[in-house]
Structure 1
C-alpha cells in the first residue's frame, strides 16, 4: 500500500508501485486538504466572480461566461473537445504511471477536485483499469490534450486496458466493477490541466536510463581492463583537486567498480592513456549531475500543486497561474541528451582503440586469426552510425514554439518531445554500449583472461554465457543484439546494481 499526501513520492516509488500493482490510498491529511479546497470551488461556483475554467471558457474562449446551469455539461464538453492525442499509444506501464502521477498531483489540493472524483480515480487505479493515451499531442504547456484521454475513461468514454486487454473505457470500468464518475464544476479542468502525462513518461525514461548508465559504467570498466589502462586516473586526490560537478562521485564510482581488478596489481602499460579512457570521471560526473537534475525536476512537478487556476484553501481564493509550464523539465532533458553524446563519443573511441594493435597491444581488430580476418573491425561502421543517430537525438527540442489559441498561448517548452527523443536516444546508446561491451569482452579474453573486478567479471560472464569468444569471422551484428538483450535482463541488472550500492547515487540508479 502506497499512501499519498503526506510525503513526496519519488520516481523510484512510482516505478515500483506501477510494476508491482501496488494499491494506493490518500492520507487523512490529504483527504482534509482536498475537501477544504473543494469547498472554495463550490463557493466560487455559487458566486458571480469570473474564474478561469470554472465559469469561463478556456484559452481563446476566456471571455465567454458560463451560466450555472451549464457547468455540469461543460465538464463533458471540455474533455471530449480536447481529446486530441494522436499516434501510437503509450505503453500500459507508462500510462499507469501517468495516472498515478495525476492522482498524486490532485492530492495536493490545488485543483479543487471533488473528493468523490479523486476517490473514483483511485478506485480506477486500484482495480487495474489503465486509461490508454496516445503519445503525441502535448507541447508542454500542460498536457490537456493527452490528459483528456485519461479524463475520457473517468467518465466512461475513451479506451482503457483491463486485464491486459485494450477495450472501450466504459467496458473496462464495468469489467472492474466500477461506474463512470460524475463530474462537478471545475472537475474536468482538474483532471486535464496537468503535466502528469509528461511526468509519467519521464519517470519511465529515466528508469530505463538508470539501468543503461549502470551497464555503460560497467562496460567502460571492462574496456579499461581489456585495454590494460592505468587506473590511477581515478585517484581521489586528483578528483578533489578540481571537484567539478559530479566528478568526485564518478571517480569514486569507478574506483569501486574496478576494486579487485588486475589493473592494480602491476605497473600500467602507460602512464597516460588516450583521453576516452582518462576522462571517464570527467564525463560521467556531469552526466550523473544532469541525471539528478532531470529526476529532481520531474519529482518536484509530480508532487506540486501545478494547477491553473490554483485553489489556495487557507486564503479561500482561486488565482490564475502559469505553474503548468515545464521548461525546467524540458531544459533538463535537453541537457541530459547532450551529456549522453559525450558518453557515446568516448565509448566509440574506446571501441576503436581496443581494435588498434598499436594502442592496445592486442591482435589487429581483436581477431586471433590474423591475415585477412575482419574480426570486429566492420563493427566500427555500425558504431559510427549509432553515434551519428545519438548526436541527432541530442538536438534541443525546447527552443521552438508556435503561438496557438488565437496567439494567447504563445510560448511552449515542448517538454514531451524532449522526453521522447531522449527515450529514442537511450535505445540507440544501449546498442552502442553493447558494441563496447562485446569488444571489451574479446579484448579481456585475448589478454589471457586476467583477474577482473567483481562487476566486470559478472558482465563478462553474462556475455560469455550466451556468446563464445570470436575465434573466426562470423555474423557479428546478431552478437550485438544479444548483448543488448543482456543489458536489459532483469537478473543481470539486479546483479550489477548490487555493486553500485553505497555510492550515494540517485535511488533510480541504485535500484532503490
Structure 2
C-alpha cells in the first residue's frame, strides 16, 4: 500500500490505517466519491432553504433551548459564525498535537459521508490545515460529551473563519497570521456549517484512538517485561502450561500464556529446577490479569472503530430520502463508557507491574535487598517502587468512572450528558502513567536479572535487556535514579518488538 496519504470517504476506516497515519506522517484527502456526495448534499440543502416557512433545527433556528427562535434568511451566515465564536469556551491544558491531527482527520471523515450539508470549500480547508500542519490550539476542558464536543470542536473550527490560534511552522500564532502566510482567505460559513463542524464526537474519538494506539504497544511490552521479571524472580513456568488455559478459554489469557511461554522457551533460568512450589499472584496470574486487559482492549477498539466510521453531527441530511432529521448521534455515551473501561483495564496493567517490582526488591530468591550491592550504605531501588506505588494510587483515583455522572445544561434541554470528554482526558493520563510504571518494572527487572549472571534468560528477553543497557547501565551504587527512570520511559516508548518475536 502507499504511505503517501490516507483516503477518506464512506469506506470503513481501520485501526491499522490510523496507526499508519501517525507513524508515517501521512497526508489526508477525500476521494472523488466523497467529493460528489458533499456537493450533492449541499445542493439539496440549498434547495430546501429556498422553501419558505420551513424550520430546520440549527439551520434556520437557534440552538439548544433556543431551538424555536426563527432566524431570518439574511442572518443565516451570521448565525453560524456566532455559533463558533460563542461556543469556543475551552480551558485547561492544550490538546497534544497528535490528538489535534486525529481530530481534524476524523472531522473530515465524518463530513465525507455527505450527510452534513457543508460546502466543499470547508472540507478542503480542513484538509489543507491537516496537510500543512496548521494545527488549531484546542483545550482539554469544556466538553460535556453530549451535544458533541462543542467547545473543543469550536476551537478546532475557529481558524476556518480567521479566529483563534494555531501552531504553524513550530510557532504558536493567531490564525489570521497563519492564513496570511499561506495566502488563505477566511471562509464565509453557509447554513448548517457551524453546527456540522462543532456537533460530533471527534474530541473523544481522537483521544480514544490515541490511547488505544499507545495501549496496544504497552500491552505487548507488558508481556515482555513481565517475562523478564518472571525469570529475574526465578519463577516456575508451570502456571503457563497450555492445559491450564485451555480450560478457561478467554482469548486474552490464552494469548498471554502463549506469549510468555515463547519468551521463556529457551531460557536457562526458566528451565532449571525451583525450590518453591508456587509464586506470588503477580507472577503466577500474569495470563489472567494481562489477558483480561487485552480482552477489554479489543472491546473498546471495536467501539471506537465503529464510531469513527459514523456520522455524528446533527441534524442529519438524507438527500436521497428527501429528509432532514434531528437526532442525537452526537451523544458520547458509547465512548464515555468504553473510555472508562479502557482506563480501568490499563490501570490494572500498572497495578500488577508495581507488585512485581515490589517482589523484586524484597530481598527474596537470592536477590539482594533493594537490588543493590551493600544495601544499607546504598538504598538502591527502594524509592522507584515508591514512585510506582504513588502513580498506581493516582490511577485508581483517575479510574472513578466519568460516565456515571451527568449535569444538565442548556436550560435543561440537554438534560443528560455523557461526560465522555472527561473520560477521554482521564484515560490519557492513565495511559501515560502505565508507561511510567512499566518503565520502573523494566529498570528493576533488568537490574535483578544481572544478579543472576552468568545464567541467561530467553533470546528475546536478552535482546531487550541488551538494548536497554545501551541507555541505562547496571546500578553499582546510589545515583540520581530520576535520570534512569526518564531514560527507561523513553526507551519503553520507542522500543519495537521485532516482527519475528511477535
Instruction: Give TM-score, length-normalised by structure 1.
Output: 0.91
Out of 69, 76, 82, the residue aligned to residue 77 of structure 1 is: 82
CA distance in 1, matches of 2:94, 2:477: 44
1:147-186 equivalent positions in 2, closer than 5 A? 147-186=153-192
User: What is residue 9 of structure 1 aligned with on the other side?
Assistant: 13
Out of 440, 444, 447, the residue aligned to residue 449 of structure 2 is: 444
User: What is residue 498 of structure 1 aligned with on the other side?
Assistant: 499
User: What is residue 427 of structure 1 aligned with on the other side?
Assistant: 432
User: What is residue 267 of structure 2 aligned with on the other side?
Assistant: 261
Out of 227, 245, 254, the residue aligned to residue 248 of structure 1 is: 254
1:191 Cα deviation (Å)? Answer: 1.1
1:422 Cα deviation (Å)? Answer: 1.6
Secondary structure of the residue aligned to 1:179 is coil
Out of 31, 35, 38, the residue aligned to residue 34 of structure 1 is: 38
Confirm or deny: 8 A CA contact 2:207 2:428 kept in the other structure: no
User: What is residue 276 of structure 2 aligned with on the other side?
Assistant: 270
Confirm or deny: 8 A CA contact 2:331 2:418 kept in the other structure: yes
Cα RMSD after superposing both structures: 2.1
Secondary structure of the residue aligned to 1:166 is strand
User: What is residue 505 of structure 1 aligned with on the other side?
Assistant: none
The range that moved more, 269-278 or 185-194, is: 269-278
Structure 1: which 4+ aligned runs deviate by more than 6 Å?
Answer: none
1:91 Cα deviation (Å)? Answer: 2.4
Secondary structure of the residue aligned to 2:320 is coil
CA distance in 2, matches of 1:158, 1:104: 23
User: What is residue 116 of structure 1 aligned with on the other side?
Assistant: 121
Secondary structure of the residue aligned to 1:160 is strand
Confirm or deny: 8 A CA contact 1:106 1:305 kept in the other structure: yes
1:263 Cα deviation (Å)? Answer: 4.3
Confirm or deny: 8 A CA contact 2:439 2:492 kept in the other structure: yes
User: What is residue 507 of structure 1 aligned with on the other side?
Assistant: none
CA distance in 2, matches of 1:156, 1:483: 43
Distance 1:312 1:237, change over 3 A: farther
User: What is residue 73 of structure 2 aligned with on the other side?
Assistant: 68
The count of aligned residue pairs is: 496
CA distance in 2, matches of 1:216, 1:364: 24
User: What is residue 207 of structure 1 aligned with on the other side?
Assistant: 213
The range that moved more, 274-283 or 212-221, is: 212-221
CA distance in 2, matches of 1:19, 1:463: 22
User: What is residue 351 of structure 1 aligned with on the other side?
Assistant: 357
CA distance in 1, matches of 2:294, 2:422: 22
Secondary structure of the residue aligned to 2:402 is coil
Confirm or deny: 8 A CA contact 2:347 2:430 kept in the other structure: no
1:275 Cα deviation (Å)? Answer: 0.8
The range that moved more, 15-24 or 29-38, is: 15-24
CA distance in 2, matches of 1:241, 1:212: 27
CA distance in 1, matches of 2:25, 2:434: 30
CA distance in 1, matches of 2:299, 2:498: 21
CA distance in 2, matches of 1:130, 1:49: 38
Secondary structure of the residue aligned to 2:207 is helix
CA distance in 2, matches of 1:234, 1:176: 59
Note if 1:56 corresponds to 2:56: no
Instruction: Give TM-score, length-normalised by structure 2.
Output: 0.93
1:376 Cα deviation (Å)? Answer: 2.3
User: What is residue 408 of structure 2 aligned with on the other side?
Assistant: 403
CA distance in 2, matches of 1:12, 1:147: 25
1:263-287 Cα offsets, whole Å, 9 max, x none, are 4533344342111101111111111
Secondary structure of the residue aligned to 1:407 is coil
Confirm or deny: 8 A CA contact 1:99 1:131 kept in the other structure: no
Query: Any unmatched runs of 5+ in structure 1?
Result: 502-512
Distance 1:58 1:500, change over 3 A: farther
User: What is residue 130 of structure 1 aligned with on the other side?
Assistant: 135
CA distance in 1, matches of 2:371, 2:81: 65
Confirm or deny: 8 A CA contact 1:124 1:173 kept in the other structure: no
1:8 Cα deviation (Å)? Answer: 1.9
